[in-house]
Amino acid sequence: MSIVSVTHLEAGYEDTPVLRDVSMTAEEGAITAVLGTSGCGKSTLLKNIIRLNDAWSGSVRMFDEEVMVMDEPEFNQLLKRVGVLFQNGALLNSITIAENVAIPLEQHTRLPAPVRDHLIRIKLALVELEEAIDKLPSELSGGMRKRAALARAMALDPDLLFCDEPSAGLDPVTAAGLDNLICRLRDQLGMSVIVITHHVPSIIRTADKIVYLSDGGVLFSGTVKEARSSGIEQIERFFREGVKDY
């Protein structure tokens, strides 16, 4: 079953179209990588799937339900099963890292305080940020903020996790660690992951499927292996150039 399926999506900002006709699916329990040059509309696609932007036309299905016609409460119910890592982290700046991770836990569970605190520590340890637990976001580097935001996104072990450029700004060792973590979440929790990324090594390591956006549409979708022998010059070059700085 497809956990997310987008058909003929058309979307943009004010009257500038960004996505002209996008159709794609992401399978349950798989890691789907959304690729494309920067500015091609990857983040826009994500924002339209989770209804932060209102799409112009087309359809979005999540967990086999039509998303665009849902009312607020219904959709919020659905969002409990979804975690989102935003491109810029989007941590709340006035509270500590621990308090940021606590938000979804307090909002959606009734875990007793000591268990909740242990859970926060577990999540921060997974992204190797235990020592930053009582710091404010402004006291962390960009890469650390990204990791803290990932800890918050997966606080509830969501069934579906969106990651907008998780490895941007991370060193190669930490980035590989995150890839590893995302694979384990998929294998052990059956988590479905949709990850936006440019990072070719991590695509090769993790992605079960890739969706390549270009020019407002989907240029290619399939496995990495298929992509590398697809005969589409733009995609083959993407992998060739990307592997070089591996």
Ligand X SMILES: Nc1ncnc2c1ncn2[C@@H]1O[C@H](COP(=O)(O)OP(=O)(O)O)[C@@H](O)[C@H]1O
User: Which stretches of the chain bind ligand X, using CB under 6 A?
Assistant: 13, 18, 36, 38-44
Q: Which is nearer to another protein, 8 or 184 (CB)?
A: 184
> What does the alpha-carbon distance between residue 115 and residue 126 come to, in Å, rounded to a whole number?
16
The C-alpha angle 152, 155, 156, rounded to 5 degrees, equals: 140
Token pair for residue 115? 């268990």
Q: Which is nearer to another protein, 114 or 231 (CB)?
A: 114
Taking the complex as a whole, the smallest distance from the CB of residue 152 to another protein amounts, in Å, to: 13
- Binding partner selected for residue 39 from Mg ion, another protein, ligand X, none, CB under the kind-specific 5 to 8 Å limit: ligand X
Query: Which H or E run contains 119?
Result: helix 113-126
Contacts to Mg ion from residues 66-125, by CB under 5 A: 87
Query: What are the E-state strand segments in the chain?
Result: 2-13, 16-27, 31-35, 57-62, 65-66, 82-85, 160-164, 192-196, 209-214, 217-222
Q: Which residues bind another protein (CB under 8 A)?
A: 93-94, 109-112, 114-119, 121-123, 125-126, 130-131, 133-134, 136-138, 156-157, 184, 188-189
What is the dihedral sign for C-alpha 148, 153, 159, 161? negative
Taking the complex as a whole, the smallest distance from the CB of residue 130 to another protein amounts, in Å, to: 6
Residue 106: partners with Cβ closer than 8 Å, 6 or more residues away: 116
- Binding partner selected for residue 121 from ligand X, Mg ion, another protein, none, CB under the kind-specific 5 to 8 Å limit: another protein
13, 41 Cβ separation under 8 angstroms: no
> What does the alpha-carbon distance between residue 141 and residue 61 come to, in Å, rounded to a whole number?
36
Taking the complex as a whole, the smallest distance from the CB of residue 38 to Mg ion amounts, in Å, to: 7
> What does the alpha-carbon distance between residue 241 and residue 235 come to, in Å, rounded to a whole number?
10
Q: Which is nearer to Mg ion, 83 or 105 (CB)?
A: 83
Taking the complex as a whole, the smallest distance from the CB of residue 79 to another protein amounts, in Å, to: 15
Contacts to Mg ion from residues 24-43, by CB under 5 A: 43
Q: Which is nearer to another protein, 109 or 214 (CB)?
A: 109
- Binding partner selected for residue 93 from ligand X, another protein, Mg ion, none, CB under the kind-specific 5 to 8 Å limit: another protein
Q: Give residues in contact with Mg ion (CB under 5 A).
A: 43, 87
